[in-house]
Structure 1
């Protein structure tokens, strides 16, 4: 295989420390040059040659199962996780038996002690194997701490508490595994969206094939109620397509001939034939899945802090525990057994389970929640950064506006009907390729207006068009095309231009008979979106555009944007983003992901919209709004802030509870029972707190 990269899915990876141990074990395989475990996505990427057997051997300490392809396994209950973690049920039975014997024949009886030893061995044999391996390699993680604590409890005769530590730690591990799998379900739900097989037409016959065998230009048959298996364009039929899985849109979208459709979307009512444009591995859905998986491996600053802190925290706890166990007996004449017990309790309460799980569960859950709502966040760092944004800049064309000039207003100054006026205007403009001409033609087509034959057609570059229709000379073009304008027409032109419109005049025999105002149409959502953004406390909103000041001011006022910067080239937008950062602090940039790429890359957070099927947006943006829907922006800001709050709550609570429990050492009140219950309670609470993000909906 050489040094090529291979990706494998991992089942059974219960904790971040276990993932790190697995990664280190894989790196020790002689044929592997490097390995990278993505704990959030439960995936490993290996550089070099490694078989599934090699990888499973490296993961044998936790009975990891490795597969080349994603396997859609049934969802497990919490007790399934408990049973998978150290034969907890058997351990519980022997612990219960030991407690019963404790009251019947005493704690010193060999049968009682034997029951507790059986409970410890059955429930903790995997824990001890991993703990001893870590001790040999001087790796100090949770399993190392627990192994030392249980052995110490056994040495001083605290059998019942040693067994309880094993069982409660196993339940804590099961809880972490359960919570991570709940968080990972967001990816699993994406992976299960697209069908595995499809009906295609080959050699004039319909046949069912695996989606992996579908080639570009194959014709795929999609019946009503079926999911579309590939990215492609409609070659026959029409239907309403539910695109919520890709774009987050709640309302089905009409699709007809030559319209683009995406793998994983639902054909609701009509028969379709779809010509494949991308292989399955290159589909928009596949890219989203890949990017979400990678995003879950991109650590947020808060998670990086926790990782760095944990690297020093665990050795520090071991030193504190050693000090608690030795200083009072050696220097103050205290009983050695009493303070050794206290030292063991410090080891248990100092276990960083809750701290380690506090951030990744929140990040993974939030990214999955965003993906289900049509927002692709490419890493925890960007999710966190968005919560700290002080200013947000918007590209105008294609973002705030539709990017298509349309007729906004007109004034008929003749005795002709409005239909007659636009029939003349559109007949003249049909000879032109100018974007403004297309706006007039499109307006006329909406009302199925008739066309006139144009004679003596002539185009005046930069000004307009002249032509003869039914014996009358007509002119259509910019105001500069006409020598003299009446005062009333001049005032109306200036008023419309002040409002940001481009003005076209129509004249017959040199007399102005109509005024048409054209402008890039503002999208339906920006006004409410800007209102929501400001309501969230975003202090500064800025419009960036290559248009003139009048147009920029008009658009800004229409949608409620506070500032505008006009007459900008694409490179100027990048410069302005830098200047806005210096002026306001952290800045987000929202654009269409094509010509805005430099500005998107320069901003603290680059947000591309309308990116379903647009490779450029997926590549250049930190966050992509998949449904061309700006209403997702306030939702994403709220999600970011909520995630940040939950992470802060989790870290604060996890550390605070440790401090409180450790303070109990001073009067000698800390017991192994309190220690393990405090640790497991903290893990449970931070996990449940993080999983609240699963319920986060776009309407929140």
Structure 2
């Protein structure tokens, strides 16, 4: 009665609370006291099981919340102090003991060590992280005490971002979920009116036909049965719970859906388009060769290149910076740096303008360079200083260990329309595509070219495209595709914000797993819809004809709700999808 009154105060007159209240009061009125109590008791029992099911569905998010440390050990005034993580600033040095959770994102100041990353990525095997590499909040050092220098504040950490994404996912409803909510708003008042007509129409018929004996209590009883079985809670609760279960199951495996609408959208995908570097390849480049020109030495060429790239988080930039550090090369000062999307960087130095990136960047700035460097099939970074060609660095990358497995898994799911779009040279992209068994590829693309290709796939070919990327320049195409999937480990913050799904493990094979989870969730949701409506329509017909009692109605209603909820919870309990 309290819940019904609260909803009526908010002008929501027709819902499961008012249906059950009318049924209980009506049963008391006609003297069916045991059945009135049964309606209240079993509805309360059903509510209890629903609450427990919802708690179970939220358990993974709760466990994520529990991994946020309450304290951080920070070095201040020459000594270690225990403070709240929220008070630690960027650039401060923190210490994390073995078995403790890292409170904030930072770079490792120690030699290479192992970290348990299960809370963030679902990986059961510890990850080795080297000196000066990034360690994320929520990871656990497993070998020794480590020191980190923080790179983000508490609220900006990767863990906080994950929690925000998963918790806000409930606000983005799938089309099926939105339809059921709209359906319930029409369905509930409609069945209430039908129940009323079930009492009134026989009375009107009896007034016109004296031979028809009208028994008010009998027809009221049938209307009460009709009200109880028509309660829509099995649909209204189990369907959102099914989607939330799918989101929870996916996040347990390191796949973050930003909403149930994306969980639904991925089931319709029939084409997957990949970026190359950092997505299908490891993104761990190594400088293989240095080819200086124009009077520069090899060390000078590396120094200028590393100085320009020092502010970038691109894998190539990191590789050049690491190489300069290994060679103990001092970096010259760079006054300002400007990114040229898809081409490289332009920086101002004491020696004049510095251009670092693709050969096309030099061509755009009227800098002459040897034409034969365009024939090099591997990744190169071309450099120009003060308007003159200064040489190039040759780097190597390799496919991720599970990239080939990802292609095989997608083919097994019936998705054979695969493509690679990359800013790298076409020859290099073609080489990778051949290794992985992908027949379509396009190289030498600018960010706007990638968007154009995606739009062509979706308009001319009518493909429902999922794009998978990780870089800053992938943000526009992630937003333009039907479903955008970003690599959460190495991916840029902009790409992660633009994407609909985040792969925390950076494994392309997780794409197929995300599709399987989406398809399984959709199947469970439709099982609940068809099963609940089928049983309700059957018992509604029996109730209207007088063949069903209130006992049967309440057992059918609560039973259908519990079966639907248990079916939804299966998404969380199954280990494999």
Q: Distance in 2 between matches of 1:219 and 1:462?
A: 34
Question: Which of these residues, 493, 497, 501, is aligned with residue 623 of structure 1?
Answer: 501
Change (3 A) 1:610 1:150: closer
Change (3 A) 1:135 1:622: closer
Q: Which residue of structure 1 aligns with residue 73 of structure 2?
A: 199
Query: Post-superposition shift, 1:626?
Result: 1.6
Query: Post-superposition shift, 1:625?
Result: 0.9
- Kindly provide the CA deviation profile for residues 361-398 of structure 1, in whole angstroms up to 9, marking residues without a partner as x: 11112212222222221111111100110111111222
Contact 2:60/2:252, CA 8 A, preserved across alignment:
yes
Change (3 A) 1:296 1:666: closer
Question: Which of these residues, 574, 594, 606, is aligned with residue 451 of structure 2?
Answer: 574
Q: Which residue of structure 1 aligns with residue 415 of structure 2?
A: 538
- Kindly provide the CA deviation profile for residues 590-617 of structure 1, in whole angstroms up to 9, marking residues without a partner as x: 1114101111101010011144684213
Report the 3-state secondary structure (helix = DSSP H, G, I; strand = E; otherwise coil) of the residue aligned with 1:254.
strand
Q: Which residue of structure 1 aligns with residue 251 of structure 2?
A: 371
Q: Which residue of structure 1 aligns with residue 4 of structure 2?
A: 131
Question: Which of these residues, 274, 279, 284, is aligned with residue 158 of structure 2?
Answer: 284
RMSD: 3.5
Contact 2:222/2:544, CA 8 A, preserved across alignment:
no
Q: Distance in 1 between matches of 2:27 and 2:400?
A: 68
Question: Which of these residues, 652, 658, 664, is aligned with residue 530 of structure 2?
Answer: 652
Question: Which of these residues, 437, 440, 459, is aligned with residue 560 of structure 1?
Answer: 437
Taking the TM superposition and a 5 Å limit, the aligned residue runs for 1:359-398 are 359-398=239-278
Question: Which of these residues, 331, 338, 341, is aligned with residue 221 of structure 2?
Answer: 341
Q: Which residue of structure 2 aligns with residue 637 of structure 1?
A: 515
Instruction: State yes or no: 1:432 paired with 2:309.
Output: no
Query: Post-superposition shift, 1:429?
Result: 4.8
Q: Distance in 2 between matches of 1:462 and 1:289?
A: 36
Query: Post-superposition shift, 1:423?
Result: 11
Change (3 A) 1:343 1:254: same
Report the 3-state secondary structure (helix = DSSP H, G, I; strand = E; otherwise coil) of the residue aligned with 2:520.
helix
Q: Which residue of structure 1 aligns with residue 195 of structure 2?
A: 321
Question: Which of these residues, 543, 553, 562, is aligned with residue 665 of structure 1?
Answer: 543
- Kindly provide the CA deviation profile for residues 541-600 of structure 1, in whole angstroms up to 9, marking residues without a partner as x: 111123444333322111122312333211011111111012143111111141011111
Q: Which residue of structure 1 aligns with residue 23 of structure 2?
A: 149
In structure 2, runs of 5+ residues without a counterpart are: 207-211, 307-315, 328-355, 360-368, 382-392
Report the 3-state secondary structure (helix = DSSP H, G, I; strand = E; otherwise coil) of the residue aligned with 1:216.
coil
Q: Distance in 1 between matches of 2:26 and 2:250?
A: 46
Q: With the length of structure 1 as denominator, give the TM-score of the two structures.
A: 0.67
Q: With the length of structure 2 as denominator, give the TM-score of the two structures.
A: 0.80
Query: Post-superposition shift, 1:430?
Result: 4.5
Contact 2:61/2:248, CA 8 A, preserved across alignment:
yes
Taking the TM superposition and a 5 Å limit, the aligned residue runs for 1:352-363 are 352-363=232-243
Query: Post-superposition shift, 1:234?
Result: 2.0
- Kindly provide the CA deviation profile for residues 9-68 of structure 1, in whole angstroms up to 9, marking residues without a partner as x: xxxxxxxxxxxxxxxxxxxxxxxxxxxxxxxxxxxxxxxxxxxxxxxxxxxxxxxxxxxx
Q: Distance in 2 between matches of 1:178 and 1:252?
A: 33
With a CA cutoff of 8 Å and minimum separation of 6, indicate the structure with the bigger relative contact order.
2
Change (3 A) 1:234 1:520: closer
Report the 3-state secondary structure (helix = DSSP H, G, I; strand = E; otherwise coil) of the residue aligned with 1:537.
coil
Query: Post-superposition shift, 1:319?
Result: 1.1
Q: Distance in 1 between matches of 2:137 and 2:63?
A: 14
Q: Which residue of structure 2 aligns with residue 96 of structure 1?
A: none
Q: Which residue of structure 2 aligns with residue 587 of structure 1?
A: 465
Q: Distance in 2 between matches of 1:423 and 1:590?
A: 32
Contact 1:639/1:696, CA 8 A, preserved across alignment:
no
Contact 2:470/2:492, CA 8 A, preserved across alignment:
no
Contact 1:612/1:627, CA 8 A, preserved across alignment:
no
Q: Which residue of structure 2 aligns with residue 680 of structure 1?
A: 558
- Kindly provide the CA deviation profile for residues 275-331 of structure 1, in whole angstroms up to 9, marking residues without a partner as x: 222222221111111111111121111110111101101001101111222222431
Q: Which residue of structure 1 aligns with residue 485 of structure 2?
A: 607
Report the 3-state secondary structure (helix = DSSP H, G, I; strand = E; otherwise coil) of the residue aligned with 1:273.
strand
- Kindly provide the CA deviation profile for residues 597-655 of structure 1, in whole angstroms up to 9, marking residues without a partner as x: 11110101001114468421331111111222212111111111111111111111111
Report the 3-state secondary structure (helix = DSSP H, G, I; strand = E; otherwise coil) of the residue aligned with 2:171.
coil
Report the 3-state secondary structure (helix = DSSP H, G, I; strand = E; otherwise coil) of the residue aligned with 1:348.
helix
Report the 3-state secondary structure (helix = DSSP H, G, I; strand = E; otherwise coil) of the residue aligned with 1:240.
strand
Question: Which of these residues, 101, 105, 110, is aligned with residue 227 of structure 1?
Answer: 101
Q: Distance in 1 between matches of 2:216 and 2:151?
A: 75
In structure 1, runs of 5+ residues without a counterpart are: 1-127, 409-421, 450-460, 465-476, 482-492, 505-515
Change (3 A) 1:131 1:531: same
Post-superposition, which runs of at least 4 consecutive aligned residues in structure 1 deviate over 6 A? Answer: 422-425, 461-464
Instruction: State yes or no: 1:311 paired with 2:185.
Output: yes
Q: Distance in 2 between matches of 1:135 and 1:249?
A: 49
- Count of residue pairs the alignment pairs up: 507
Q: Distance in 1 between matches of 2:276 and 2:568?
A: 37
Change (3 A) 1:503 1:548: closer
Worse-matched range after superposition: 208-217 or 181-190: 208-217
- Kindly provide the CA deviation profile for residues 85-124 of structure 1, in whole angstroms up to 9, marking residues without a partner as x: xxxxxxxxxxxxxxxxxxxxxxxxxxxxxxxxxxxxxxxx
Query: Post-superposition shift, 1:202?
Result: 2.4
Q: Distance in 2 between matches of 1:424 and 1:606?
A: 38
Change (3 A) 1:238 1:395: closer
Report the 3-state secondary structure (helix = DSSP H, G, I; strand = E; otherwise coil) of the residue aligned with 2:131.
coil
Q: Distance in 1 between matches of 2:130 and 2:487?
A: 23
Q: Distance in 1 between matches of 2:291 and 2:482?
A: 51
Please identify the structure whose Cα radius of gyration is greater.
Answer: 1
Q: Which residue of structure 1 aligns with residue 365 of structure 2?
A: none
Instruction: State yes or no: 1:164 paired with 2:38.
Output: yes
Q: Distance in 2 between matches of 1:586 and 1:313?
A: 33
Instruction: State yes or no: 1:523 paired with 2:400.
Output: yes
Contact 1:228/1:265, CA 8 A, preserved across alignment:
yes
Taking the TM superposition and a 5 Å limit, the aligned residue runs for 1:170-319 are 170-236=44-110, 238-319=112-193
Q: Distance in 1 between matches of 2:123 and 2:487?
A: 13
Report the 3-state secondary structure (helix = DSSP H, G, I; strand = E; otherwise coil) of the residue aligned with 2:144.
coil
